[in-house]
């Protein structure tokens, strides 16, 4: 898919076709795209959990206030980050976000729908995932994935008045 | 350009062909791609400054410790964000970062080289841009842009051992 088409076609999808399975190689392709995002001082602070377990998704849905879409999602990618010791650690949120955006675009390219759910820096939400995953890194974002079962309009808007040339 | 090619070809470029000019429509196309990134609760907290003034770029180069590449860059896009009042404000850094990543990919598609320079949350660095721009929003990232005059290897690496399936 052309870059422009992926950027234009990406939507936040909250309703997926139930029971669909995503091949492991597709998860790997999405996360590979994520790993090619830039990171502060090339620190690549990320780690990933792919949750396909219905039991774990149900538990997250029960505890996270905005995770209803997990009802129909096929899976969930959690992007965690481990801030390093030097100043690049200030940027781990942004590193995880750039990585997440690449994952969303690659998912669009592969025909999947996604929605980005924020975790860190809302500590209670990050804690839910830390509890469930038992991983030491900070869960920064989570991405619900599946075959779209809705077709919303694009909510991004080009607003040139927000641009100042100097 | 195919999405995969844009993701794979993107590099952090710090040496540009001096004296090149970027047409305004290309800046607009890059920032339009940025504006189609997702944002928490569709808050679209971003604002943009495009700096083409050599004088302003020299001033930033003088004051920011990692802005030497402005010596040869054609321009600089600053992505600012204005955190809203509700909880989506927690995510303004991540919103700005997803937007920045789209800008980098679109710049690659258009044949430009870029490098992402971190500002916020390192307050002294954000302050430099706030001083110079006189804009009330928080400068989160800045992107130096130009025609590449170096051809570094990709520094992103696919590390499947960082992925846990559950």
Query: pLDDT above 90 covers what percent of chain B?
Result: 95
Smallest CA-to-CA distance from B126 within B107, B140, B111, B106 is with B140
Range scoring the smallest mean pLDDT among A7-21, A86-100, B60-74: A86-100
The pair phi, psi for residue A76, each rounded to 5°, is -145, 130
Amino acid A85: pLDDT? 67
Cβ–Cβ of A166/B52 closer than 8 Å?
Answer: yes
Helix, strand, coil percentages, rounded to 5, for chain B:
45, 20, 35
Task: Return the H-helix or E-strand segment holding A106.
Answer: helix A92-109
Contacts of A52 in chain B (CB under 8 A): 165-166
Q: Is A53 on the interface with B (CB under 8 A)?
A: yes
Token couple for B130: 């706030």
User: What pLDDT score was predicted for residue A83?
Assistant: 87
Residue B126 host element (H or E)? helix B123-133
A9 touches chain B (CB under 8 A): no
Yes or no, beta carbons of A46 and B93 under 8 Å apart: no
Give the separation between CA A161 and CA B16, rounded to whole angstroms: 29
pLDDT band, very low/low/confident/very high, at A135 (cuts 50, 70, 90): very high
Q: Which residues of A touch B98 (CB under 8 A)?
A: 97-98, 100-101, 116
> What is the CB neighbour count within 10 angstroms for residue A150?
11
pLDDT-derived band of residue B83, with 50, 70 and 90 as boundaries?
A: confident
Q: What integer is the mean pLDDT of B96-112?
A: 98
Interface of B with A in 61-80 (CB under 8 A): none
The CA distance from A16 to A21, in Å, is 11
Whole-number pLDDT of residue B87: 65
For chain B, what is the radius of gyration of the CA atoms? 16
User: What is the rounded distance in angstroms from the CA atom of residue B29 to the CA atom of residue B146?
Assistant: 15
Which is nearest to B38 in space by CA: A69, A125, A16, A157? A157
For A43-101, the pLDDT digits (tens) are 999 999 999 999 999 999 999 999 999 999 999 999 999 987 666 678 999 999 999 99
Burial group, residue A124, by CB count within 10 angstroms (0-12, 13-18, 19+): exposed
Do strands B163-165 and A46-51 pair parallel, antiparallel, or not at all (unpaired)?
A: parallel
Q: Which candidate in B95, B102, B144 is best for mutational testing of the A interface (most A CBs within 10 A)?
A: B102
pLDDT mean across residues, chain B: 96
d(CA B9, CA B104): 11
B163, burial (CB in 10 Å: exposed 0-12, middle 13-18, buried 19+): buried
Distance from CA of B166 to the nearest CA of A (A): 5
Beta bridge partners of A142: A78, A117
By CB atoms closer than 10 A (0-12, 13-18, 19+), residue B85 is exposed
Q: Could you tell me how many CB contacts below 8 A there are between chain A and chain B?
A: 189
Distances (CA, A) of B133 to B34, B37, B59: 20, 24, 11
**How many other β-carbons are positioned within 10 Å of the β-carbon of residue A156?**
22
User: ipTM strictly over 0.85?
Assistant: yes
Q: Which of A74, A76, A87, A85 is nearest to A139 (CA)?
A: A76
> Is 70 exceeded by the pLDDT of residue B105?
yes
pLDDT-based confidence at residue B76 (cuts at 50, 70, 90): very high
**pTM across the whole model:** 0.97
| Residue whose pair of structure tokens reads 């600053």 in the numeric block | B78
Closest CA to A93 of A139, A41, A146: A139
Please, which pLDDT band fits residue A40 given cuts at 50, 70 and 90?
very high
Per-residue CA distances from A144 to A12, A102, B5, B123 (Å)? 10, 14, 25, 33
> What stretch of H or E contains A146?
strand A138-146
């Amino acid at each position: 898919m052309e870059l422009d088409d992926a950027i234009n076609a990406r939507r936040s999808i909250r309703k997926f076709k139930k029971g669909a399975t995503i091949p492991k190689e597709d998860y790997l392709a999405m996360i590979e795209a994520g790993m090619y995002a830039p990171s502060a001082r090339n620190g690549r602070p990320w780690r990933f959990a792919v949750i396909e377990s219905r039991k774990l998704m149900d538990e997250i849905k029960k505890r996270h206030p905005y995770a209803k879409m997990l009802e129909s999602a096929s899976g969930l990618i959690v992007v965690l980050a481990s801030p390093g010791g030097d100043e690049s650690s200030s940027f781990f949120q942004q590193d995880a976000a750039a990585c997440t955006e690449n994952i969303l675009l690659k998912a669009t390219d592969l025909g999947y729908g996604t929605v980005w759910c924020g975790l860190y820096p809302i500590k209670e939400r990050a804690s839910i995932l830390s509890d469930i995953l038992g991983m030491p890194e900070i869960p920064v974002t989570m991405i619900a994935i599946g075959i779209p079962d809705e077709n919303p309009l694009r909510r991004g808007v080009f607003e040139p008045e927000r641009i100042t040339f100097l």
